Amino acid sequence: METKKAIISVKDLVKKYDDFVAVQGLSFEVYEHEIFGLLGPNGAGKTTTLEIIETLRAKTSGEIIVDGFSVDKQPQDIKQIIGVQLQAAGYYPNLNLIELIELFAGLYGANIKPMEMLEKVNLQDKAKAKYKALSGGQKQRFSIATTLINQPKIIFLDEPTTGLDPQARRNLWDLIKEIRDAGTTVVITTHYMDEAEQLCDRVAFVERGQIIALDTPDNLIDQLVNSGFERKKEVKKANLEDVFINLTGQEWRE
């Protein structure tokens, strides 16, 4: 990666829920134009951390700067330059995709062409469909399109490929890489390590509210191998997912 300018800077972030310390002094930076992954077990504090950066949740202490704006002093400025995936429940059931995009654009005061947004995520053929009529992969692509409506500098995706089949996941990886290549910084959480390895430029492992490792996937794997780690079983040249893709093809399905 050539440019290493931090677009998000988190310093000593602490979040307590009553006596329970969910985030225990996290510090990290996200660089401009990278896909940054927050990984870790259930309950590690990933969503809490993301929601504090997104200005949706109050922190207990620490300092967060997003593109030069402070979460304490300039949350409205941060909201203008980020895109956050909404939960499905937020979509009006009787509107079609074009109408939903128009609605969100109106809320943001964004001047965009709805069809162009749908083309970005390969949903132009579904412009007149209702959200509930979409497949799982299409729903995820639509919700990613909604994060792009205000032409944000950073988008946040919380487990975007959970529940998708292998083709739909790979298609979504391509889409997320395209979004990064077009200049948007992407912050993602995932429980799939193959996804993090394929997709993320850098990853941070969070465990009990603390960062226990942060680097490129390649460096983290090399460090483990250099420490003498070896897989117990000899790895085959393909896995069952390769068989799936080989049998069913790579094209868009839904």
Ligand X SMILES: Nc1ncnc2c1ncn2[C@@H]1O[C@H](COP(=O)(O)OP(=O)(O)OP(=O)(O)O)[C@@H](O)[C@H]1O
Name which of 48 and 184 has its Cβ closer to ligand X: 48
Closest CA to 81 of 159, 2, 7: 7
- Minimum Å gap between C-beta 209 and ligand X is 7
H helix or E strand, kind and range, residue 164: none
Smallest distance, Å, CB 156 to ligand X? 12
Residues near ligand X (CB under 6 A) are: 17, 20, 22, 40, 42-48
Is the Cβ–Cβ distance between 15 and 48 less than 8 Å? yes
Helix axis angle, 166-181 to 240-248, nearest 10°: 90
Q: How far is the CB of 177 from ligand X (least distance, A)?
A: 23
Give alpha helix (H) positions in 39-96. 46-53, 75-81
Nearer to ligand X, 121 or 155 (CB): 155
Q: Which is nearer to ligand X, 46 or 169 (CB)?
A: 46
Nearer to ligand X, 184 or 189 (CB): 189
* Residue 114 beta carbon to ligand X: minimum distance, rounded to whole angstroms: 31
